[in-house]
Every structure is written in C-alpha cells, then in structure tokens.
Amino acid sequence: MARRRPASVHLCASAALLIVAFSSLTHSAGAYDPLDPNGNITIKWDVIQWTPDGYVAVVSLYNYQQYRHIQAPGWKLGWVWEKKEIIWAMTGGQATEQGDCSKFKSNIPHCCKKDPEVVDLLPGTPYNTQIANCCKGGVLTAWAQDPENAVASFQISVGQAGTTNRTVKVPKKFTLKAPGPGYTCGPAKFVKPTKFISQDGRRSTQAHTTWNVTCTYSQFVAQRSPTCCVSLSSFYNDTIVNCPTCSCGCQNNSTAPGSCVEGNSPYLASVVNDPNNKNNLAPLVQCTSHMCPIRVHWHVKVNYKEYWRVKITVSNFNYRMNYSQWNLVAQHPNFDNLTTIFSFSYKSLNPYGLISEHLALQITLWSLGTFELALLIPILFQALTFALLQTTLLCYGASSTTTIC
Ligand SMILES: *[C@@H]1O[C@H](CO)[C@@H](O)[C@H](O)[C@H]1NC(C)=O
Ligand SMILES: *[C@@H]1O[C@H](CO)[C@@H](O)[C@H](O)[C@H]1NC(C)=O
Ligand SMILES: *[C@@H]1O[C@H](CO)[C@@H](O)[C@H](O)[C@H]1NC(C)=O
Ligand SMILES: *[C@@H]1O[C@H](CO)[C@@H](O)[C@H](O)[C@H]1NC(C)=O
Ligand SMILES: *[C@@H]1O[C@H](CO)[C@@H](O)[C@H](O)[C@H]1NC(C)=O
Ligand SMILES: *[C@@H]1O[C@H](CO)[C@@H](O)[C@H](O)[C@H]1NC(C)=O
Ligand SMILES: *[C@@H]1O[C@H](CO)[C@@H](O)[C@H](O)[C@H]1NC(C)=O
Ligand SMILES: *[C@@H]1O[C@H](CO)[C@@H](O)[C@H](O)[C@H]1NC(C)=O
C-alpha cells in the first residue's frame, strides 16, 4: 500500500472505514465487544468470618470494562439462595425488599427473600453503616477512566447457611442491572482465597473462602434496536449524510403512537415531570427521522497529507437522560497509538436537558497514513466534568453502504 496517497483518496478511505468499523459491530453476536474484548464486571465474595449459623462476607464488584461505566441510578445485584439462607445484616449496601420474615420473633433479619436484590447506599450515609468502597449510589467509573472508583463493596452477614468452606453453598443465578438490562452473569466459581495485605505490608491475612462471578455486557441483551447512529459531513461537499432513517426504530403513528415527542409539544413537560416516570429508564426520544437517543455527527474539517481534523458533535435526543460523565469511543484505522495526538474542547450548547443537549468535541488526529486494519485501536476521550454516554456510544446501525465518497 502506498504510504502517501492523494488527500481525497485518503479521506475517502477514512470515511468509509469509519463506517465499516462501526457497522461491523452490528454483526457481532453475544456478549463480545470488539473494542473491549475482556471487558467484564467481576463480583467477588470473600467469606471473612464464620458465624454460629452462617458467615460474614465482603462482596465486591470490579468494573473491569475499559469505557463502559455504571451511571445513576446505579447497579443492582441479585441472586437466588441455594438453601434457606437469610441476610441478618448488611453494611455499605441494602436489600431492596425485606420479604417475608414473619417466622422470626425477636431478631428480625434484614432480608428473608429467596432472591434478594442489593443496591448501594447513597453518598453521605452515616459512618457506622459504611465500609470501604461503598456508598457511591451505585455509580462506578470505567476501569480505563478511574480504576479507584471502579470498585464497589458491601458486607453481608448470612444466616441459615453453611459454616465451613465445605458446607457453604454459593448463591446461584446472579443478575446485574447496571442500570437496566444488558449484563449476563455466569455461575459462581471457587477461586483462590483473597489475601489481604496489612497497611504496612508486613502481614497478610486471607479470606476463609472466595468465589467469583463474571458478568459481561451485551448490547443485544440491553436493547434490540441500536441506541445511537452516526451522520457525516465534510468541508468539500455540502451534502450531509444523515443517520439512516429508522436507525433506532421507527416512528409509526398507527402502531406506536407516542413513541416519540415533538420538541415543542405541551405534552412534553407533562411526561418529563410525571413523578410516575422518575425511575423509567426507557428513552423518551424527540421525534427525528432516525429516532435515536444519541446522534454522533462526524464532520471532516480539513484534510492534509499529514493529518486530518474532524469535529464530532454528540447530540442527546432523550428527554429522560442527562449525561454528566461520558466517554466517546471511536475506532478508526488512522488512530495510531504512538502518533495520535488529540486534544479536545467541549461545550454544552444547551445545559438544560429539556431541549436536546449538544456537545461538540473537536479532535485533531495525526495520521501516518497507514490503513492497516490491524492498527485499529479504541481511543478514549474522557471529559470528567461531563458524565457518560457509555451505554450509547458504540454505534450500531450505520449503513455500510453509506459513504461520502
Ligand atoms: C475480566 O476482566 C479482567 C480484567 O480485564 C480479566 O483479567 C479477566 O480475565 C476477565 N474475566 C473473564 C472471565 O473474562
Ligand atoms: C476473582 O476476582 C478477583 C477480583 O476481581 C480477581 O483479582 C481474581 O483474579 C479473580 N480470580 C479468578 C480465578 O478469576
Ligand atoms: C477449604 O479449606 C481447606 C483447608 O482449611 C482448604 O484446603 C481448601 O482449599 C478450602 N476450600 C475452598 C474452596 O476454599
Ligand atoms: C406503520 O404501521 C403500519 C401497520 O403495521 C404499516 O402498514 C405501515 O407501513 C407503517 N409505516 C411506516 C412508516 O413504517
Ligand atoms: C402523528 O400523529 C400526530 C397527531 O396524532 C400528527 O400531528 C402527526 O402529523 C402524525 N405524524 C405522522 C408521521 O403521521
Ligand atoms: C436534567 O437536568 C435538568 C436541568 O438541571 C433538569 O431540569 C432535568 O430534570 C434533568 N432531567 C433528568 C431526566 O434528570
Ligand atoms: C502500540 O504500539 C506498540 C508498538 O507499535 C505495540 O507494541 C502495542 O501493542 C500497541 N498498543 C496497542 C494498544 O495497540
Ligand atoms: C457530494 O456528495 C453527494 C452524496 O454522496 C454526491 O452525490 C455528490 O456528487 C457530491 N458532490 C460533489 C461536488 O462531490
């Protein structure tokens, strides 16, 4: 392959490959994410103490995903007990429902459900109910962004359970909502007991027994239709290649009236402010031809031999979501991990989530002109003062036949 090509050919290839990169994700099935193949959330149970009728364990969630973080209202971890286990007490987290504890006369358990669901406590929880890494309202950062805040823990005291590492039964059917569907968890597996190193590093203690559960994310489990789309434009052609019509579903008055809202309709304020909808995570999108909650617009501003410059504009069309911390993950063959220099500025064109929020990033990409697909690497653009577009920014659904060439 020639190392220097005429600028226009170079650009053509750039644009086409960008789309291919995005659309190839459409065909990846299951939980595999080509941009983060090892991404997972690992849940670790460390039994740190046996009690007369059970054990005390510290349960930790590690968000080992490179760019997908867990946003408010946070994670929710569920499982099914193997036997008749109950939760006597918890610190750093709580079961969402107590369940039927009517059999208990004096000492009332924290939760008697066969299938408890646990959530994190909110920041500012009284000191005596906290443990390390707890109480972030269920919000976890992505590993590449901030590993220290990618871990959550709670302590659980389990009764009516085994009291040795041979009689203890591991819970089964783990579920993780983070928030909403998308994660699939495997079975718990006994692993080498965790070692805890003392602060001065001179002594280590270890868990009595430890088991791990691994959960992986799949866009297909989360939602059948894509949640974002890519549109393109360039300095040398007035034509804007819009997101394909119905990229994220179709607006059809006869089959799904109210599947979107017009930006200026009086109905909008009533849906957005309806307290019954406070915890509704389903997107409420502004009516557009693509019907996507998120649109990423890729505008090629200049194209030189040595580099090209694009302006990326991210628009939020979902009235139910404010994004305060977000990542944009872009994949492109011209991103080279040694030579890419990127700087960006962002601005919020409308800080009042009610009308759609636009955010523009300007990125300068330096390229050596290589077109090897093997050089594809994910790049993380982090803007810490804005939170996430994580679940939405992998773009599915851009048509591979659309090019600006
Ligand atoms: C989960 O992610 C960690 C960190 O990337 C990795 O070491 C581990 O092998 C992964 N686990 C599975 C089961 O993929
Ligand atoms: C279990 O999970 C912990 C925490 O993520 C990790 O350090 C450990 O390597 C895992 N063990 C196995 C066997 O995957
Ligand atoms: C249970 O404890 C025994 C010794 O106390 C140890 O050899 C064994 O590895 C432990 N098993 C598990 C699953 O932790
Ligand atoms: C809307 O739904 C009706 C009935 O299913 C169908 O006949 C029509 O083609 C749909 N219109 C669009 C624009 O998809
Ligand atoms: C859908 O219905 C609304 C009111 O019922 C109407 O104003 C609008 O024009 C319709 N849209 C389409 C595409 O038919
Ligand atoms: C988004 O932020 C605006 C302004 O702070 C607020 O009025 C609105 O209720 C928020 N929307 C959601 C869904 O949190
Ligand atoms: C970055 O480039 C170096 C040298 O070319 C290579 O060894 C390394 O694997 C690359 N890293 C990634 C993430 O592609
Ligand atoms: C601009 O792009 C459109 C759509 O791809 C194409 O039909 C048209 O010929 C282009 N115009 C020029 C001047 O290149």
Stretches in the chain below the pLDDT threshold 50: 1-30, 333-405
d(CA 87, CA 104): 12
Read off the tokens for 131. 């443990």
CA-377 nearest atom, ligand 7: 14
d(CA 118, CA 216): 19
Report the pocket of ligand 1 as residue ranges, CB < 6 Å.
38, 40, 42, 64, 214
Instruction: Collapse the DSSP code of 150 into the 3-class scheme (helix H, G, I; strand E, B; otherwise coil) and give the result.
Output: helix
Phi, psi of 282 (to 5 degrees): -65, 135
State the pTM of this model: 0.69
Q: What is the pLDDT of residue 122?
A: 94
- For the CA atoms of 129, 131, 133, 134, what is the dihedral angle to 10 degrees? -20
Of 338, 339, 290, nearest to 318 by C-alpha is: 290
DSSP 251: -
CA of 192 to the centre of ligand 3 (A): 9
CA-40 nearest atom, ligand 1: 1
Residue bearing the CA closest to ligand 3, atom 14: 209
Question: pLDDT tens digits, residue range 190-227?
Answer: 999 999 999 999 999 999 999 999 999 886 666 667 77
CA-253 nearest atom, ligand 4: 1
Residue bearing the CA closest to ligand 4, atom 12: 252
Q: What is the pLDDT of residue 42?
A: 97
CA-64 nearest atom, ligand 2: 5
Q: What is the pLDDT of residue 242?
A: 86
Question: pLDDT tens digits, residue range 140-152?
Answer: 988 876 789 999 9
Instruction: Collapse the DSSP code of 262 into the 3-class scheme (helix H, G, I; strand E, B; otherwise coil) and give the result.
Output: coil
Q: What is the pLDDT of residue 183?
A: 92
CB atoms within 10 A of CB 97: 12
CA of 325 to the centre of ligand 6 (A): 14
Phi, psi of 139 (to 5 degrees): -90, 130
